[in-house]
Amino acid sequence: MDSFGTRLHAALDERGPLCVGIDPHSQLLAHWGLEDDLAGLEKFSRTVVEALGDRVAALKPQSAFFERHGSRGIAVLESVVREARAAGALVILDVKRGDIGSTMAAYAHAYLDPTSPLAVDAVTVSPYLGFGSLSPIIDTAAAHGGGVFVLALTSNPEGPQVQHAITTEGVTVAQTMLDAVADLNEGAVPLGSFGVVVGATIGETAHDISRLNGPILVPGLGTQGGRPEDLRRIFGESAAAILPSYSREVLAHGPSVTGLRDAAGRALEECRAALQPNVNG
């Protein structure tokens, strides 16, 4: 299998810079006229895949919304992953796992080993037990052509308490993570498989992402306050590797398949326009 970086690069070229979350939380289920139960979960998730699986570069199920329904919810997640990948979308499972040793190796097998029923293209992980704790999942991703997105500069207001803290080396914790991911991607062509999560609402930041050579997953657009026009201002020359991620802004237009497709189309065009190089300098 081609590396995740290669597959994502091709998907961005073919389908454009857009990831849509699959977040079946109770408010959205109610908005769609669905019950907050297993049937509602399945109807919601499969409608999103039907509407967008053959159109967007990536779909990003939030694992917690499936886990809360127990084993039957996980079974729905397995089906959603299979159907999304069959439709041609890359699947990024938003799990934000972070652990050590054999436990992290088990997470790696669950999500990135092709023999697992939950195997996806990439996962989100938390590095705050130390970047070295991610080694099992990084090694598994490298072995099987998977991807890993490391939380670096998140959009939640509590994030800076840890991410902006200064290390003994005189740089922020977030910069340490950015540099570690960049080291993993060194020399990768056309794009590294190891990315970072950087929120669209972080505003001006002195953090250096110029060496990353990998994808940047950018949540926080739409309802959370981030705007497409912020993307080039925040990311500059790294804009070519950005994967903007929308959830409620698109999902609120369901359960109509046409409504979901139209909302995703508008988001994509706005992101494309915002990420175009500034020919006027």
DSSP string, the chain: ---HHHHHHHHHHHH-S-EEEE---HHHHHHTT--SSHHHHHHHHHHHHHHHTTTSSEEEEBHHHHHTTHHHHHHHHHHHHHHHHHTT-EEEEEEEE---HHHHHHHHHHHH-TTSTT--SEEEE--TT-GGGGHHHHHHHHHHT-EEEEEEE-SSTTTHHHHT-B-TTSSBHHHHHHHHHHHHHTT-SS--SEEEEE-TT--S-----TT--S-EEE--BGGGSB-TTHHHHHHGGGGGGEEEEESHHHHTT-S-HHHHHHHHHHHHHHHHHHHS--TT-
Options 25, 96, 232, 261, the catalytic residue: 96
96 is catalytic: yes
Q: Which residues are catalytic?
A: 96
